[in-house]
Amino acid sequence: MSLLEVRKLSVAFQTQGGWFRAVEGVNLSLDRGEVLAIVGESGSGKSVAMLALMGLLPATARIECERLLLDGQDLLGLAPKARRRLNGGTMAMIFQEPMSSLNPCFTIGYQIDEAVRTHLGGGRKARRERVLHLLELVGIPDPPRRFDAYPHQLSGGMSQRAMIAMALAADPELLIADEPTTALDVTVQAQILELLLKLQQERDMGLILITHDMGVVAETAQHVLVQYAGQQVERQAVRGLFEQPLHPYTRALLDALPERAPPGDFLPTIPGLVPGQHDRPRGCLFAPRCGHAGALCQTQEPVWQQLESGPGWRCHFVQGDPPAPVFPAPAALQQGGEQGEQD
């Protein structure tokens, strides 16, 4: 049985211009001890989908989901109070801006102790020992002194370690990390990622890593979910995704990696922008930016397809088992061929 199973998760927000679909029909499953990376540009709905899973979206959000199971428990049928008990307990989330997540008015020790008190209870002495153990676990030096430190007295890396300690306070089974290294320098990024993976493996947690860094994906994840404009467009094992990407968007993301560019050439880019509320195309959402789009892509939205063996995609031109992209020739080449036949 999967630790987490999500079927057809959709999120829309009420705006002055009507309902805006931020997430549309996302499916995912996660086993214990598995690392799933969710990638995509800003505006792809990665964070919104996970905030919906945690129940942290505002009242202006409309959430629809066919199935939402955590360790076999149906979260859709839970009362709000029971659902809140899971946050920080069975499942926890780490955010990308630790300095915005920590309360500047309270010490680090007090804030972590609050999580321990809420989910585990116990006396003050036992809770303090638990907090000191967590601070030591995440690599914060001199835990007794840091216990009484305020957030502004810690570096960005130390603040993120404190956030990880808070997330681990009640030994969660599922940990969601929303771009946990974005605000950190490169050296500290590597240290935080190494720490997260070490803790995930030691505790056999399921880890969902939201990122835009394909290098991080290659080093950490077993499976990858690619999102675009609120839709999932591809899911593969990490090796298969890097060796044979199925969706043109995934291929474009990989082509933009500096290590894949020929020496001396400009890096490839994806033209255009992720569609918003008022400029969503009629057919495939990626069609206006796709170099392989045909007439079918302009008029008909592709459906999500997934094999029992695992790979899934949303593209008219992916076929077979194992699946592979079979793109039509560009229109200019087709016209040239027709003209040659007439000559």
227 within a domain of the structure (yes/no): no
Q: Is 113 left (phi over 0), alpha (psi -120 to 50) or beta?
A: alpha
How confident is the prediction along the chain (343 residues), in pLDDT tens digits per residue? 799 999 999 999 998 888 999 999 999 999 999 999 999 999 899 999 999 999 999 988 999 999 999 999 999 988 888 888 899 999 999 998 888 899 999 999 999 999 999 999 999 999 999 999 999 999 999 999 999 999 999 999 999 999 999 999 999 999 999 999 887 888 888 999 999 999 999 999 999 999 988 888 999 999 999 999 999 999 999 999 999 999 999 999 999 888 887 788 888 889 999 998 889 999 999 999 999 999 999 999 999 999 887 899 999 999 888 898 887 755 433 444 444 444 4
**What is the domain range of residue 279?**
254-342
Instruction: Please state, in angstroms and rounded to a whole number, the distance separating the CA atoms of residues 207 and 16.
Output: 36
274 within a domain of the structure (yes/no): yes
320-323: long-range pairs with CB below 8 Å, 24+: 323/246
Spatial contact of 45 and 227, defined as CB atoms under 8 Å apart = yes
Instruction: Please state, in angstroms and rounded to a whole number, the distance separating the CA atoms of residues 184 and 180.
Output: 9
Instruction: Please state, in angstroms and rounded to a whole number, the distance separating the CA atoms of residues 124 and 117.
Output: 9
9 within a domain of the structure (yes/no): no
Q: Which residues contact 280 (CB under 8 A, 6 or more apart)?
A: 229
327 within a domain of the structure (yes/no): yes
Q: What is the dihedral sign for C-alpha 134, 32, 234, 53?
A: negative
42 within a domain of the structure (yes/no): no
Angle between helices 108-119 and 156-167 (to 10 degrees): 10
Ramachandran angles phi, psi of 6, nearest 5° = -125, 130
334 within a domain of the structure (yes/no): yes
What percentage of the chain has pLDDT greater than the value 70? 95
Question: Does the N-terminal peptide bond of residue 322 adopt cis geometry, omega within 30 degrees of 0?
Answer: yes
4 within a domain of the structure (yes/no): no
Q: What is the pTM of this model?
A: 0.91
Kindly list the distances between the CA atom of residue 39 and the CA atoms of 51, 73, 179, 231, in Å, as whole numbers in the listed order: 15, 27, 10, 12
136-143: long-range pairs with CB below 8 Å, 24+: 137/165, 137/168, 137/199, 138/162, 138/164, 138/165, 138/168, 138/195, 138/199, 139/191, 139/195, 140/165
What b-and-e string marks burial along 133-151, b requiring 16 or more CB atoms within 10 Å of the CB? ebbebbbbeebeebbebeb
Number of domains making up the chain:
1
- Residue 260, pLDDT score: 82
Spatial contact of 186 and 226, defined as CB atoms under 8 Å apart = no
